[in-house]
């Protein structure tokens, strides 16, 4: 490639050369046949822009707020695991990037830098993503650490009762390092020669029994607003609102979980319309306490 990379595809090409194959495959792969992975890209390609002309664009302001936090654009850094597999500074460098761009960073539960390291590295607004471990005490401790360090919200990833079947990781026998956040609490180093070690790690630690009633438990251990990540249907968006969370993140986890699930962008509009209809139908009932809660939750992230 000649000169500096100018788009994400060119960065990906550089990464392909720079990274060990095991890590490159982990970062870029989807689940099973990778049908949804292709659909994620194709569905964006099918969206065609309808340009309007002779509009004053000399000053553009895309800033908005998410859960009351200012952001320079309606873009958030999604929580992604183990940045140190690609860069020595890991998530600390990502947080600095978020601060420089004035956008919110989602820090993964499976980060290679600790919650405290990321918090003290810069003043980016940070939300903390969690998986719920079978050892709930560990998850509660992590939530409290994030709360203490000024994270602005908890993102509960709800599409991963177990890790998606990622065939490249199985072939590579993908290994996770010991994650510093959990040192002294639980081992995250799973080494076996039977396929993906990170799949084994998730199967050994993630609570596959997690369900809607557990949102009450999460609400009972934190005052932070909760976002549910991994919603792909209107039915679940409504359930999330009924559960009283502050917002939802429509996502198919980068097609790394359930293959043949819809591309995220293809279901976003339907879910948004459903939530708008709820808001409209609730407006006339505003005086009921419960309705207020619904209204607040629905309007946050439409």
User: Catalytic site residue 253?
Assistant: yes
Alpha-carbon distance of 81 to 66, in angstroms, equals 22
Reported in sequence order, the residue ranges of the chain that DSSP labels E, i.e. its strands, are 64-66, 69-71, 76-77, 104-107, 126-130, 153-157, 226-231, 247-250
The tokens describing 147, both together, are 């709360």
Out of 253, 297, 298, 300, name the contact with ligand FMN by CB under 6 A.
253
Asked if 202 touches ligand LXCWX6NK (CB under 6 A), the answer is yes
Can you give the length of the chain in residues?
302
Asked if 126 touches ligand FMN (CB under 6 A), the answer is no
Asked if 176 touches ligand LXCWX6NK (CB under 6 A), the answer is yes
Q: Select 108 or 205, whichever has its Cβ closest to ligand FMN.
A: 108
Asked if 43 touches ligand FMN (CB under 6 A), the answer is no
- Four-residue CA torsion sign, 143, 160, 69, 286: negative
Judging by beta carbons within 10 Å of its beta carbon (0-12, 13-18, 19+), is residue 182 exposed, middle or buried? buried
Q: Which does 299 bind (CB under 5 to 8 A by kind): ligand LXCWX6NK, ligand FMN, none?
A: none
Q: Select 155 or 275, whichever has its Cβ closest to ligand FMN.
A: 155
Alpha-carbon distance of 26 to 149, in angstroms, equals 29
Name the β-bridge partners of 106.
Answer: 127
Among 222, 90, 214, residue whose Cα is nearest residue 152: 222
How far apart are CB 59 and ligand LXCWX6NK at their closest, in Å?
A: 39
Out of 34, 71, 121, 157, name the contact with ligand FMN by CB under 6 A.
157
Asked if 81 touches ligand FMN (CB under 6 A), the answer is yes
Q: Which stretch binds ligand LXCWX6NK (CB under 6 A): 33-41, 140-148, 194-202, 280-288?
A: 194-202
DSSP letter for each residue of 257-295: SSTTPPPHHHHHHHHHHHHHHHHHHHHTTTTSHHHHHHH
The tokens describing 91, both together, are 């998530």
Question: Please, which of residues 134-163 interact with ligand LXCWX6NK by CB under 6 A?
Answer: 160, 163
Question: Please, which of residues 91-110 interact with ligand LXCWX6NK by CB under 6 A?
Answer: 110
Opening angle at CA 49, ends 48 and 53, nearest 5: 155
How far apart are CB 9 and ligand FMN at their closest, in Å?
A: 15
Q: Which stretch binds ligand LXCWX6NK (CB under 6 A): 90-98, 142-150, 196-204, 215-223?
A: 196-204
Residues 10, 1: contact at Cβ < 8 Å? Answer: yes
- Four-residue CA torsion sign, 278, 281, 284, 289: negative
How far apart are CB 15 and ligand LXCWX6NK at their closest, in Å?
A: 16
Out of 201, 241, 246, 278, name the contact with ligand LXCWX6NK by CB under 6 A.
201
Residue of 83, 87, 253, 301 with catalytic role:
253
Residues 275, 48: contact at Cβ < 8 Å? Answer: no
Give catalytic residue positions.
253
Applying CB under 6 A, which residues contact ligand FMN?
Answer: 27, 78-81, 108, 110, 129, 157, 229, 251, 253-254, 256, 264
Q: Catalog residues that contact ligand LXCWX6NK under the rule CB under 6 A.
A: 81, 110, 160, 163, 176, 198, 201-202, 253, 256
């Amino acid at each position: 490639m000649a000169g500096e990379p100018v788009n994400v595809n060119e960065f990906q090409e550089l990464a392909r050369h720079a990274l060990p194959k095991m890590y490159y495959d982990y970062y870029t792969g989807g689940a099973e046949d990778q049908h949804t992975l292709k659909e994620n890209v194709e569905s964006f390609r099918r969206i065609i822009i309808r340009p309007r002309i002779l509009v004053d664009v000399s000053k553009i302001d895309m800033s908005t707020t998410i859960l009351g936090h200012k952001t320079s654009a309606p873009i958030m850094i999604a929580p992604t695991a183990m940045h140190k597999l690609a860069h020595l500074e890991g998530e600390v460098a990502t947080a600095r990037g978020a601060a420089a761009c004035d956008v919110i960073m989602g820090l993964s539960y499976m980060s290679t830098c600790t919650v405290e390291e990321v918090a003290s590295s810069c003043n980016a607004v940070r939300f903390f993503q969690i998986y719920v471990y079978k050892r709930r005490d560990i998850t509660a401790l992590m939530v409290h650490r994030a709360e203490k360090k000024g994270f602005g919200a908890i993102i509960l990833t709800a599409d991963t009762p177990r890790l998606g079947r990622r065939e490249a990781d199985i072939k590579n026998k993908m290994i996770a390092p010991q994650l510093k956040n959990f040192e002294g609490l639980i081992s995250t180093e799973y080494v076996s020669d039977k396929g993906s070690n990170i799949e084994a790690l998730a199967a050994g630690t993630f609570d596959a029994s997690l369900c809607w009633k557990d949102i009450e438990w999460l609400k009972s251990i934190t005052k932070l607003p909760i976002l549910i990540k991994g919603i792909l249907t209107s039915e679940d968006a409504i359930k999330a609102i009924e559960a009283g969370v502050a917002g939802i993140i429509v996502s198919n986890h980068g097609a790394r979980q359930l293959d043949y699930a819809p591309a995220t962008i293809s279901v976003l509009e339907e879910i948004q319309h459903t939530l708008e209809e709820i808001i409209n139908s609730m407006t006339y009932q505003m005086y009921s306490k419960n309705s207020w809660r619904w209204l607040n939750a629905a309007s946050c992230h439409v």
